[in-house]
């Protein structure tokens, strides 16, 4: 505030008394009084009355006894909050206040906006009544000037406090990903966090809205799929994709596991991926129940973007809700490789995220040890007959569907076996016995097992999955187990434990994707296969607005029902926990 606002007013020659001090006080000065930062004007008035500001005889006597130094007759001012520091500040700002003796007498200083000052000569040359009026004005002005300095101090204190509060709120907002870092004692702190969070949202200029038309093609950086939008949503331009494959062995929906958390949230993962590609083989016709359970487990931050079913094959894509506005319309296709068998073939979904095209394939190849060449034939039929994409342009024209996309993630029960010669089962059992952990095998043991893997041998010969990559296998074979046990096949066939369930990926640009996790899930024992998952970190490029966008579409019915189930399950689990924690004692 200006200095003029809090300085005392000049005495009008026509008025007998100065304006009331109550009229001069503002709301801020009253707040300062409550906090003890400035002295109350009532205290100054009391000092004035005791010296000579009243109509009694004591006032004239005191002025006469003061002589040429009117300040000598006044009592010293009461110390205020932070007295010594405030007094030193006043001395620095007004060095003329002190006289030769080091006291505050001599010259009585008024506010900075006053047009006059009262000295001892002024008092000597005036009458007693005029001196009384001038003296009261001087003392009141000095008190008001003290108030002005106190208000300056209050402003400094408020500014420093606001700066500290702003820094504190910034630190809280930066750590707001964890609710444990947010204080819960005041409602104001939560309001400040919400204010900071909203301020990080990019403001949309009116000119951009007037000049930009989405969905009609835009090569600029500020297009809907341009670099600006991509950087605002995904700062590092990389997303995590989790591909899961599980042969459910015809498991009925009534026999599904109570929880799918181990399938969707493996214990070695700290964060939920941005994209789920769930590949199931040998599923029952009631696929809606499976999708609902997946949605209820993943939670409301993800939505079922699309799914494709081919008889006993199912492929489902779950996306983060943040991404559904920046993807193209999904394409789906399926192919049966064995007409007489409903379980063999593939289901595929493709779409474009910003400017990066992706193809996901869930497949089930021919079974049995003697059908190695038929599995190769199944692969060749899929890559040449799968008709994708339909709505978007391929990145490259080719008879091989895997060459038309930036990324291809292929998962499924590929049924390739481990071949080690005569006495296979006994040799594999001896190798597995050397492993100290049932969930993880040492690198030398894994290398010994994969050395006879049909898939790796065929890939090395160029017969299958050319230019595809796979993570390092450091888990035990995933087939074939006795149901509800960790024991490999004890039937008469004595099948050799093999890595039939796999996840492979292909990048059009080498080095743009890496595998961060590749493992099996041993907690689910209700099938003769163990699920396998891979987490792939992939780079996303900006795109153009000319692609047919999905406009935020997703499977709304699955989302609503799955979220409702999740809420009900959480409520029931909370009740169960409270019931277990409480103990009721009844006395008969």
Domain count, the chain: 2
Furthest-apart CA atoms within the chain: distance in Å: 131
CA distances from 175 to 168, 181, 192, 234, 445 (A): 11, 6, 14, 19, 43
Q: Quick check: is 461 in a domain?
A: yes
Q: With 50 as the cut, is the pLDDT of residue 258 above it?
A: yes
Residue 402 is part of a domain; what is its CATH number? 3.60.10.10
**Which distant-in-sequence residues (6+ apart) come within 8 Å of 576 by Cβ?**
none
Contact (Cβ atoms closer than 8 angstroms) between residue 465 and residue 402: no
Q: How far apart are CA 537 and CA 354, in angstroms?
A: 16
Residue 81 is predicted with a pLDDT of 47
The reply to whether 470 and 565 lie within a common domain is no
54 inside domain: no
Same domain, residue pair 453 and 522: yes
DSSP-derived secondary structure letter, 254: G
Contact status, residue 540 vs residue 327, Cβ threshold 8 Å:
no
Q: Do 454 and 581 share a structural domain?
A: no
Assess whether 360 and 305 both reside in one domain: yes
Q: In the predicted model, is pLDDT for residue 561 greater than 70? A: yes
Top-confidence residue, 222 or 191: 222
Distance CA 148, CA 19 (A): 17
Distance CA 223, CA 179 (A): 35
- In whole angstroms, what is the distance from residue 496 CA to residue 478 CA? 11
Same domain, 438 and 470: yes
Q: Do 309 and 428 share a domain, yes or no?
A: yes
480 preceded by a cis bond (ω within 30 of 0): yes
Give, for 238, the enclosing helix (H) or strand (E): strand 238-247
Do 492 and 582 sit in the same domain of this protein? no
Block residue for tokens 């996303």: 540
Range of the domain at 560: 555-587
Tell me if residue 11 falls in helix, strand or coil. Answer: coil
Q: Does residue 533 form part of some domain?
A: yes
Q: Which of 35-44, 191-200, 447-456 reaches the highest mean pLDDT?
A: 447-456
In contact, 523 and 205? CB cutoff 8 Å: no
The DSSP H or E segment spanning 359 is: strand 356-364
Q: Are residue 528 and residue 499 in the same domain, yes or no?
A: yes
Instruction: Clarify whether residues 401 and 471 are in a common domain.
Output: yes
Place of tokens 């006080």: 25
Judge whether 25 lies within some domain.
no
Q: Name the band, by pLDDT with cuts 50, 70 and 90, for residue 445.
A: confident
Does a structural domain hold residue 469?
Answer: yes
Question: Does 469 lie in the same domain as 579?
Answer: no
pTM attached to this predicted model: 0.65
Q: Return the SS3 of 26.
A: coil
- Residue closest to 400 by CA, chosen among 415, 381, 413: 381
Residue 580 lies in a domain: yes
Q: Would you state the structure tokens that stand for residue 196, as one six-digit string?
A: 């900071």
Q: Are residues 501 and 471 in the same domain?
A: yes
- Give the pLDDT confidence of 361-390 residue by residue, as tens digits: 999 999 988 899 999 999 999 999 999 999
Alpha-carbon distance of 545 to 358, in angstroms, equals: 17
Same domain membership, residue 521 and residue 374: yes
Q: For 465-489, what is each residue's pLDDT tens digit? A: 999 999 999 999 999 999 999 999 9
52 within some domain: no
Residue 414 lies in a domain: yes
């Amino acid at each position: 505030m200006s200095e003029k606002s809090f300085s005392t007013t000049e005495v009008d020659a026509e008025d007998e008394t100065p304006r009331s001090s109550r009229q001069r006080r503002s709301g801020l000065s009253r707040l300062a009084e409550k906090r003890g930062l400035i002295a109350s004007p009532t205290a100054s008035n009391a000092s004035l009355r005791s010296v000579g500001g009243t109509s009694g005889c004591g006032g004239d006597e005191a002025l006469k006894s003061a002589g040429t130094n009117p300040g000598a007759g006044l009592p010293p001012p009461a110390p205020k909050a932070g007295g010594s520091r405030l007094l030193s500040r006043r001395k620095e700002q007004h060095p003329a206040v002190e006289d030769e003796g080091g006291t505050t007498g001599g010259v009585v200083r008024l506010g900075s906006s006053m047009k006059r000052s009262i000295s001892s000569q002024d008092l000597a040359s005036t009458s007693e009544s005029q001196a009384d009026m001038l003296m009261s004005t001087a003392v009141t002005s000095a008190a008001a000037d003290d108030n002005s300095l106190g208000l300056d101090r209050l402003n400094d204190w408020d500014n420093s406090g606001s700066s500290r509060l702003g820094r504190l709120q910034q630190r809280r907002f930066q750590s707001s990903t964890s609710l444990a870092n947010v204080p819960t004692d005041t409602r104001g702190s939560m309001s400040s966090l919400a204010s900071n969070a909203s301020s990080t949202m990019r403001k949309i200029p009116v000119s951009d809205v007037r000049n930009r038309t989405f969905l009609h093609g835009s090569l600029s950086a500020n297009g809907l799929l341009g670099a600006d939008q991509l950087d605002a949503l995904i700062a590092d331009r990389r997303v995590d994709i989790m591909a899961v494959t599980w042969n459910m062995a015809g498991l009925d929906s009534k026999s599904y596991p109570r929880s799918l958390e181990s399938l969707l949230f493996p214990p070695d993962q700290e964060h939920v991926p941005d994209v789920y590609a769930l590949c199931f083989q040998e599923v029952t016709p009631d696929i809606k129940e499976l999708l609902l359970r997946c949605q209820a487990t993943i939670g409301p931050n993800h939505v079922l973007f699309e799914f494709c079913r081919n008889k006993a094959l199912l492929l489902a894509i779950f996306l983060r809700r943040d991404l559904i506005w920046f993807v193209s319309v999904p394409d789906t296709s399926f192919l049966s490789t064995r007409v007489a068998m409903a379980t063999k073939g593939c289901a595929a979904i493709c779409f474009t995220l910003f400017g990066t095209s992706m193809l996901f394939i869930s497949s089930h190849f021919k079974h049995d040890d003697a059908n190695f060449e038929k599995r190769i034939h199944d692969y060749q039929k899929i890559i040449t007959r799968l008709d994708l994409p339909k709505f978007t342009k391929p990145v490259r024209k080719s008879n091989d569907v895997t060459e038309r996309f930036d990324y291809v993630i292929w998962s499924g029960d590929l049924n390739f076996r481990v071949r080690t010669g005569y006495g296979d089962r006994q040799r594999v059992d001896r190798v597995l016995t050397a492993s100290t952990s049932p969930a993880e095998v040492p690198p030398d043991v894994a290398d010994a097992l994969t050395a006879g893997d049909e898939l790796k041998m065929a890939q090395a010969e160029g017969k299958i999955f050319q230019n595809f990559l796979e993570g390092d296998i450091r888990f035990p074979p995933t087939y074939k187990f006795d149901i509800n046990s960790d024991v490999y096949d004890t039937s008469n066939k004595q099948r050799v434990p093999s890595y039939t369930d796999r996840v492979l990926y292909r990048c059009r640009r080498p080095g743009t994707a890496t595998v961060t996790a590749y493992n099996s899930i041993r907690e689910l024992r209700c099938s003769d296969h163990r699920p396998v998952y891979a987490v792939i970190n992939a780079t996303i490029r900006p795109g153009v607005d000319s692609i047919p966008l999905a406009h935020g579409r997703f499977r709304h019915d699955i989302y609503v029902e799955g979220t409702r189930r999740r809420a009900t399950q959480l409520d029931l689990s909370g009740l169960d926990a409270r019931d277990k924690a409480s103990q009721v004692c009844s006395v008969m």
